[in-house]
Structure 1
Amino acid sequence: MSLTLAEARARAAVLTGVSYDLDLDLTDPGRGTYGCTALVGVTTAEPATFLELKDGQDLSVTLDGEPVEHAYDGRRITLAGLPVGVPLTLRVDVRVPYVSDGDGMHLMTDAADGETYASAYLSLDVAQRVFPCFDQVDLKGPLTLAVTADPRWTVIANGRVLSSPQERAAGRWRFATTPPVCPSLFVVCAGPWHSVTWEHAGLPFGWHARASLAADLDRDAPELMATTNACFDHYAELFDEPYAFDSYDQLFGPGHNWGAMETPGCVTYRDEYLPRGRTSDVARAGRATTIAHEMAHMWFGNLVTMRWWEDTWLNESFADYMGYRVAADGAGFADTLVGHEGRRKPGAYTADERRSSHPVAPLPEDVPDVDAAFANFDAISYSKGNSLLRQLVTWLGDEDFLAGVNAHLTTHRFGNATLDDLVGALDDASPRDVRAWAEAWLRTTGFDTLRVIRGEDDVPVLERVGSRPHRVSVVALDGPAIVGRAMVDVDDEPVRLSDWAGLAVVPNAGGESFARLALDPLSAAVVAEHLSALEDPLLRTVLWAHAFDRVHTRDLGVVGYVDLVRRHLPAETNAALVGGVVGRTLGPVLALRTPAEHAGTVRATVAGACAVGLLGSPAEGVGLALTQGLAATSSDPALLEGWLTTGATEAGLTLDPALRWSVVARLAELGQLDEAAIEAERVADGTFAGDLGAARALAARPTAEAKAQAWARMTEPDVGNRVFEACADGLWSTEEPSLVRPYVDAYLAEAPGIAGRRGQGFSLVVGRAFPSVALTSTQRSALASTLASGSVPTVLARLWNDTLDDLG
């Protein structure tokens, strides 16, 4: 059982003065465990309390050298007989297991050079998998760390390094004590990292990656440094409170379950953010938004922390909003909102119509424990929350918004805060009724519809179906030309656009609000005819997202949608939008709305559209996006084999490792590459990414033996999270759904047990690996019955229920 709200409230009421002084021994990873000595400072008003620690071995707890009365069940150290009202320093000595699932001290050996890396990835209540602690967000305290490691290793953590060069050469690392932080913000990363360091704003900065990725880090280092500096300086302009920590390292780490984690002093990222060979413009922009997102957390989450998980939005919605904003305004990455509107926001609309939908800011009692909180790290808290904040800034004005935010940060620095605290600060800074806005938007589920109607005079009229205030831009179209643009408030009364009689109109043209669109027939016809010719890429993105939504609601059939792809994808000039359309089509449209017998037609249409687009000699970024789409869908083995042989496409685009493995996987799926050929590619690659590429390709082969082997590997007791993902990607990849139907049954039967054994993070991996093939009616019934039994762990049950809703 995870920590409950009641337990957290009760413990926080009696504990004060929390601090941690940790000493970790990482010198012998081959043992499977590492040594941890924790000095836990605390003052308690009651003689009994508990620390969390997962699966510790050889545990001892002492106070002033004497054993402390305690019981340990593998998850909690229950303490009794403690002195009351005086500062205590409890000493806990224990050995803690390394993990392979990204939740805890993740251990990885790099296939490229045999080097080993130990990285502590935390989130929510994962700190207890690394050291004994009071694992809740409102028990913050300073943290001091020392590490003993292989003398060849570099160790990076929350604080600035204090140990001398001589100490470090002997494998001993000491770090400065942090300001008060909650346990989930602890980080330590140890290994032979390749590093690029510099000083900025009087602080040490650094980027770090595995030694085998040194060339890729050096390639991108100038941009990574410039982006970091620009975002840091822009936040210094926006926020009154200075950055609160003593260093700013960033590290690409193997095995990360999240995209990144905002641990202060050392932000960690999935090392997929450092591509081998080539970093596309789309990847660069996406990475910049993530850098800005994690940096925003230094204020929202780290400086000021939520009190309990009902206010996840105070962390994630703000960071998501600021990430897109600061990457554009501070670091100069234009059109970042195309990524949000085209790739992420459509999923938030879908999520907000499921049974699992929740307010962006739920009530505390609606998040009864940490497992429930984990399930709320979803499209509602991120993408919808981001969208609502964008609407708030549009409605409120930037000056008042920042004034309220700065007052909030200053009032609660190094402490914990709630929704009411922030809304109160914003309300004080603005003449508008922010409290009413928050009740209408943040405390409710669902979304409104902005509808275009027109009367006999042919004047377009905007009306709201719903109850929330909207301030949005509206454009008027004469064919593909934008001939008018205005910002309007849409509330109870319809809005007549008298100057635009006879013209097509699109509300929410800049994506300022979170609302479904319903266009009148004239506007819909103009959009369908001229979509790819519209000059504004953000407007095109909003309209593609409208098409995605119409397919989701079955207002637009797959045939009609695929016709839009056929006509407009080849002419699209924004690479991020190309990738978004291809991804959405091959994802939800194919998996959830396309009958199995028509799946081949959808793939063929995407392949044809990408091929036609490439004939037009597009810009490099668009050409890469179209090539990636063609590589994933082409049924022309000769074309793909030619790319592998020459290492480039006919247009001269070099196959970077990721693109090459995509081609290999598609050829394997088509039955054109056998095990020996895939193994030759793996050996030639020689990296961990190559191992994963080979695992995916082997699983993609259209044979019963290949599918059986993939499933067997996925169900190994200690399979790593990345290997599970790669095998699942290949397993469900097939031109013949009947080949994998037995493994759909096996997945539904065995996944709950896997998730139950491996915990929250791996449950997320398992849930995201849901079969991407059409389920039979029997399988849908089995899914529903299993969920109804109550035997599915919380995190997996949430993902499965969401899938069941989407299938409906």
Structure 2
Amino acid sequence: MPSLTLDEARERAAQLTEVAYAVDLDLTDAETFGSRTLVRFRSASSQTFLELTGAVEIEVRVNGAAADATYDGSRIRLNHLATDGVNEVEVDARLPYVTDGDGMHRTVDPADGEAYVGAYLGMDIAHKVYACFDQNDLKASFDVTVVADPTWTVLANGRTVEQDAGRWRFATTPPIPPALLVVAAGPWASVRWEHAGLDFAWHARASLATELARDAEELKAVTVGCFDHYAEIFAEPYPFDSYDQAFVPGLNWGAQEMPGCVTYRDEMLPRGAVPEDLRLLRTAVIAHEMAHMWFGDLVTMTWWEDTWLQESFADYLGYRVAADGAGTPGALVGHEARGKPAAYDADERRSTHPVAPDPEDVPDVDAAMTIFDSISYAKGNSVLRQLATWLGDDAFLAGVNAYLTRHRFGNATLADFVAALDEASDRDVHAWVEVWLRRTGFDTLRVERDGDVPVVHRDGVRPHRIRVTAYDDQWVETGTAFVDVADDPVPLPELSGRFVVPNSHGETFARIVLDPATAAAAATGLCRIDDELVRGVLWTMYVDQVHTRALDAATFVELVAQHLPGERSVTLVSAVLERTLDRVLPLRLPAAAVPGALGELAGACGTGLLHATTPERALAFAAGVAATSSDAGSLREWLDAGAAGTLPLTPTLRWAVVRRLAELGAADADLVEAERSRDPGTDADLGAAAALAARPTPEAKAGAWAVAADPTVGNRLFRATLGGLWVAGQAELLAPYVERYLREGARWAARGQAFAQQVGHARPTIELTDGQVALLDEVLAGEVPTVLRRAWEDWRDDLG
């Protein structure tokens, strides 16, 4: 299908006004669904087009008559429109369900056989569900009706105003973008309450009712805490009539900000004990999606170059409000240890782009998909945090509120936001925007010594306001200074003779370089620092050094082995292990050295598990052991006992053990199937797929490939299968599949943008040979879909 271009969007936005939709969906059939759309609008031209993709049946009527319209499978060309009144176009169609999370996704829960249907929309997806003008700056009101199994609960953007015999009708929405319509239908387990005069609820699959009940009070408290905090900092009230939140199966994103009804991937409601780092992340995501009710839903970007006006703000506010509203300041450590390293990596690849690019740099929606990345999220978050620090919080919030009020229920651009900030501050916001938002890359903040006096230097062009924290030789904090760093070096005589960490709480986005004395001390004393945020900043410094090859990968693994057992933050334990296993070992360590490195990591995690003082830390270290240990006997003992020592195995951890046993050749198909049968469900199906793919036999690899290459494979099963396929130490066995992945990936990616992302994420995580790298270069020289090309070019850059 053609990708909507910037020129087409601008032309259509100039032509159409007063758009409104009535959408009627029929979900009673298991093969296809009915979609009837009545769209009303005024047009300055007699011609335009609606998008609708993949209709298997279609009828179109324009202003009450059979349409003078053509349909090519993705667009309905409308002719002879009225230019002096309101047009009414009615489209009746039947459309297929999808299994890839892009459209009307249908899932059957393997735990109980119950079906769930969700309209998972977003950029360039709405037209897979209903006929529409699919662009942000044609916001419209929606009247939605759904026919479904009368035993189900159906959710949508507005509150339910009528429900009778399997038919739900929802309140008319205020103006929202077409991409943000949502429907989620099935036999949901629900927790409901009222707050601030509104109906609130959390929903999950019926098979997760126990888990929803387990977390209900926490989820309610986080929701209410964030909601009340936004009411304090925003002048604009919450703009919708209710607030549902649902854990749904098959969602491609971590969550989506649909007005009045937020969806979350249901992995965020795990069975068994909830890992502490997931709990903190979940809180930040709840706050993030709620921020979108204002940034993205109330005020929407005009075109996709201003993705940052939504995602950077939601990411920044998510961590801020998780701390200030929900009372979980530890969530910010996840941004420092996971988000920022990914953003630094992204900002040094050929695909980097300004936080706020020019609209012409995003010529169509396929290109737009490639900037939903670490630049628009984590770097943009960091940049906004620096902006608030640099301007002062009062001026920052004054500008934010002026922007939201001025453009409520409309569309806006970077210029609109800058104008609001400029009015609220006497600082030169335009100059700040030019160096921070319009340029790629980042500065370096270095500490040197003038005798005993630390001096902070900036290599770059951006103004920074940062905190510098000082320590004695036992790594006890002895002082802090906030400093502005620009062209001139900044001496800190008040911190003379002490170790110092610049940007110690991550107030800016910059590489840091410690002075030699502090660097040497940090390498031996890292785990003694009390403040977990400072430790997070230093861990990020080390992973950045490995990425740039300033630090040898083997030395980094030694550093991890030395300090990880003493790490008190579960988030840092998990983040450092993920980075080491996902990027350091496959990208920076020779394959021959990987087994030894895994042994070091397994030993460190085993020590951490032995001395863990909380169940949360024990769970994090046990997960590390399960991912790295080569002691099949001990892992089998865990499986047989259902516990790692005194720590019960959660379903996720249990499947991690099974997968590692499979990688080691110590779990055959019978064992995997027995595990699947003992506790059926989504966890079991995906865990079994990964474990079966991980076995070191030609038959296992061939079977896994057949699953992944099925053109109807679901998004979750695809990722689980290829995630299990690539195992360090199986390079010879996997060589044919590296080539097949590169040869066949572009065809898989043709399913759509989100599946193309899945294909890119499922790349081989093993060391490539020179010949395989050459094949990657050859493939990239040919035709590759835009979204997959971005992922593969990033991979190529990381390979060096």
Moved more, 531-540 or 60-69: 60-69
Query: Which residue in the other structure is 2:27 paired with?
Result: 26
Q: Does 1:268 align with 2:246?
A: no
Query: Which residue in the other structure is 1:425 paired with?
Result: 420
Tell me the secondary structure at the aligned position of residue 740 of structure 1: helix
Q: Does 1:797 align with 2:785?
A: no
Tell me the secondary structure at the aligned position of residue 648 of structure 2: coil
Deviation at residue 262 of structure 1 after TM alignment: 0.2
Deviation at residue 342 of structure 1 after TM alignment: 0.4
Query: 1:402-417 to 2 correspondence within 5 Å?
Result: 402-417=397-412
Which residue of 685, 688, 699 corresponds with 2:693? 699
Deviation at residue 89 of structure 1 after TM alignment: 1.3
Q: Does the aligned pair in 2 maintain the 1:700–1:734 contact within 8 Å?
A: no
Aligned amino acid, residue 688 of structure 2 = A
Query: Which residue in the other structure is 2:135 paired with?
Result: 136
Q: C-alpha deviations, 1:656-691, integer Å up to 9, x for none? A: 101100011011111111001100100111102210
Query: Which residue in the other structure is 1:637 paired with?
Result: 632
Q: Does 1:397 align with 2:396?
A: no
Aligned amino acid, residue 689 of structure 1 = D
Query: Which residue in the other structure is 1:345 paired with?
Result: 340
Aligned amino acid, residue 27 of structure 1 = T
State the distance in 2 between where 1:541 and 1:734 align: 28
Aligned amino acid, residue 248 of structure 2 = G
State the distance in 1 between where 2:265 and 2:460 align: 40
Q: Does the aligned pair in 2 maintain the 1:569–1:613 contact within 8 Å?
A: yes
Query: 1:434-449 to 2 correspondence within 5 Å?
Result: 434-449=429-444
Query: Which residue in the other structure is 2:755 paired with?
Result: 762
Moved more, 590-599 or 715-724: 590-599
Q: Does the aligned pair in 1 maintain the 2:64–2:88 contact within 8 Å?
A: no
Which residue of 324, 327, 331 corresponds with 1:332? 327
State the distance in 1 between where 2:91 and 2:453 align: 74
Aligned-pair Cα RMSD in Å: 0.9
Tell me the secondary structure at the aligned position of residue 638 of structure 2: helix
Q: C-alpha deviations, 1:587-622, integer Å up to 9, x for none? A: 111121111111112211111111111222322211
State the distance in 2 between where 1:564 and 1:673 align: 32
Q: Does the aligned pair in 1 maintain the 2:594–2:728 contact within 8 Å?
A: no
The alignment covers a number of residue pairs equal to 798
Aligned amino acid, residue 554 of structure 1 = R
Query: Which residue in the other structure is 2:623 paired with?
Result: 628
State the distance in 2 between where 1:23 and 1:513 align: 48
Query: Which residue in the other structure is 2:652 paired with?
Result: 658
Query: Which residue in the other structure is 2:4 paired with?
Result: 3
Q: C-alpha deviations, 1:304-336, integer Å up to 9, x for none? A: 000000000000000000000001110011321
State the distance in 2 between where 1:216 and 1:566 align: 35
Tell me the secondary structure at the aligned position of residue 146 of structure 1: strand
Q: Does 1:467 align with 2:461?
A: yes
Aligned amino acid, residue 594 of structure 1 = L
Deviation at residue 434 of structure 1 after TM alignment: 0.9
Deviation at residue 63 of structure 1 after TM alignment: 2.5
State the distance in 2 between where 1:64 and 1:461 align: 73
TM-score with structure 2 setting the length: 0.99
Query: Which residue in the other structure is 1:504 paired with?
Result: 499
Q: Does the aligned pair in 2 maintain the 1:702–1:734 contact within 8 Å?
A: no
Query: Which residue in the other structure is 2:69 paired with?
Result: 70
State the distance in 2 between where 1:741 and 1:64 align: 60
State the distance in 2 between where 1:495 and 1:94 align: 67
Which residue of 360, 365, 368 corresponds with 2:355? 360
Q: Does 1:215 align with 2:207?
A: no
TM-score with structure 1 setting the length: 0.98
Q: Does the aligned pair in 2 maintain the 1:105–1:120 contact within 8 Å?
A: yes
State the distance in 2 between where 1:237 and 1:200 align: 15
State the distance in 1 between where 2:425 and 2:329 align: 30
State the distance in 2 between where 1:299 and 1:736 align: 49
Deviation at residue 499 of structure 1 after TM alignment: 2.7
Q: Does 1:55 align with 2:57?
A: no
Aligned amino acid, residue 24 of structure 1 = L
Which residue of 721, 726, 743 corresponds with 2:720? 726
Tell me the secondary structure at the aligned position of residue 251 of structure 2: coil
Q: Does 1:568 align with 2:568?
A: no
State the distance in 2 between where 1:434 and 1:547 align: 33
Tell me the secondary structure at the aligned position of residue 780 of structure 2: helix
State the distance in 2 between where 1:594 and 1:441 align: 34
Aligned amino acid, residue 60 of structure 2 = V
Query: Which residue in the other structure is 1:577 paired with?
Result: 572
Aligned amino acid, residue 728 of structure 1 = L
Query: Which residue in the other structure is 2:18 paired with?
Result: 17
Q: C-alpha deviations, 1:62-96, integer Å up to 9, x for none? A: 12431111111111111111111311111110001
Q: Does the aligned pair in 2 maintain the 1:669–1:735 contact within 8 Å?
A: no
Query: Which residue in the other structure is 2:38 paired with?
Result: 39
Aligned amino acid, residue 688 of structure 1 = T
Query: 1:70-469 to 2 correspondence within 5 Å?
Result: 70-164=69-163, 167=164, 170-455=165-450, 457-469=451-463
State the distance in 1 between where 2:612 and 2:709 align: 45
Tell me the secondary structure at the aligned position of residue 28 of structure 1: coil
State the distance in 1 between where 2:63 and 2:538 align: 67
Query: Which residue in the other structure is 2:747 paired with?
Result: 753
Q: Does 1:483 align with 2:478?
A: yes
Aligned amino acid, residue 119 of structure 2 = A
Tell me the secondary structure at the aligned position of residue 123 of structure 2: coil
Q: C-alpha deviations, 1:410-458, integer Å up to 9, x for none? A: 0000000001111110111011111111111000000000011123x23
Q: Does 1:806 align with 2:783?
A: no
Q: Does the aligned pair in 1 maintain the 2:15–2:43 contact within 8 Å?
A: yes
Tell me the secondary structure at the aligned position of residue 402 of structure 1: helix
State the distance in 1 between where 2:723 and 2:56 align: 36
Q: What fraction of aligned residue pairs are identical, expressed as a percent?
A: 59
Q: Does the aligned pair in 2 maintain the 1:53–1:132 contact within 8 Å?
A: yes
Q: Does 1:742 align with 2:736?
A: yes
Which residue of 497, 512, 531 corresponds with 1:536? 531
State the distance in 2 between where 1:615 and 1:213 align: 32
State the distance in 1 between where 2:731 and 2:329 align: 41
Q: Does the aligned pair in 2 maintain the 1:476–1:483 contact within 8 Å?
A: yes
Tell me the secondary structure at the aligned position of residue 331 of structure 1: coil
Tell me the secondary structure at the aligned position of residue 511 of structure 1: coil
Deviation at residue 799 of structure 1 after TM alignment: 0.5
Deviation at residue 734 of structure 1 after TM alignment: 4.0
Moved more, 489-498 or 377-386: 489-498
State the distance in 2 between where 1:587 and 1:220 align: 30
State the distance in 2 between where 1:95 and 1:620 align: 51
Aligned amino acid, residue 704 of structure 1 = P
State the distance in 1 between where 2:258 and 2:602 align: 41
Q: Gaps (5+ residues) in structure 2?
A: none
Q: Does the aligned pair in 1 maintain the 2:296–2:310 contact within 8 Å?
A: yes
State the distance in 1 between where 2:385 and 2:507 align: 6
State the distance in 2 between where 1:239 and 1:19 align: 28
State the distance in 2 between where 1:579 and 1:759 align: 32
State the distance in 2 between where 1:615 and 1:281 align: 18
Q: Does the aligned pair in 2 maintain the 1:21–1:143 contact within 8 Å?
A: yes
Aligned amino acid, residue 306 of structure 1 = M
